[in-house]
Amino acid sequence: MKIDLEFTPKQSTAIRYLFDNETSEVLFGGGAGGGANGGDSGTAAPSPSNQSVASTGGGGGGGGAGGFVHVETEIIPGTSYSLTIGAGGSGGSNGGNTSAFAYVAVGGGAGSTTGASGGGGDMYTGSPGGTVNGKTYGSYKSPSQQGNHGGSSYITSTTKGGAGGGGGAGSPGGSASLHVGGVGGAGSAWLDGITYAGGGGGAHVRVNGTGGAGGSGGGGRGYNYLTQGDDGVDGLGGGGGGTSYSAGSSAHSSGGSGVIVIRYPSPQRGSGGTITTDSDGNGNAFVNHTFTADATFTG
Domain count, the chain: 1
55 within some domain: yes
Q: What is the pLDDT of residue 175?
A: 85
Is residue 242 included in any domain, yes or no?
Answer: yes
Report the pLDDT value the prediction gives residue 114, as an integer from 0 to 100. 63
Is residue 9, in this structure, part of any structural domain at all?
no
Intervals of the chain under pLDDT 70? 1-23, 36-60, 91, 112-116, 118, 121-145, 156-160, 245-251
- Cβ atoms of 181 and 155 within 8 Å: the answer is no
* 18 domain residue, yes or no: no
Q: What is the pLDDT of residue 17?
A: 46
pTM over 0.75: yes
In a domain, 4, yes or no: no
pLDDT value at residue 137: 38
Whether the Cβ atoms of residue 119 and residue 149 lie closer than 8 Å to each other: no
Pairing of strands 295-298, 285-291: unpaired
Q: Is residue 84 part of a domain?
A: yes
pLDDT at 258: 93
Q: Is residue 12 situated within a structural domain? A: no
Q: Which helix (H) or strand (E) is 135 found in, with range?
A: strand 135-136
Residue 46 has φ and ψ, to the nearest 5°, of -70, 150
Q: Which amino acid is at 183?
A: V
> 57 is in which domain, residue-wise?
30-299
In a domain, residue 15? The reply is no
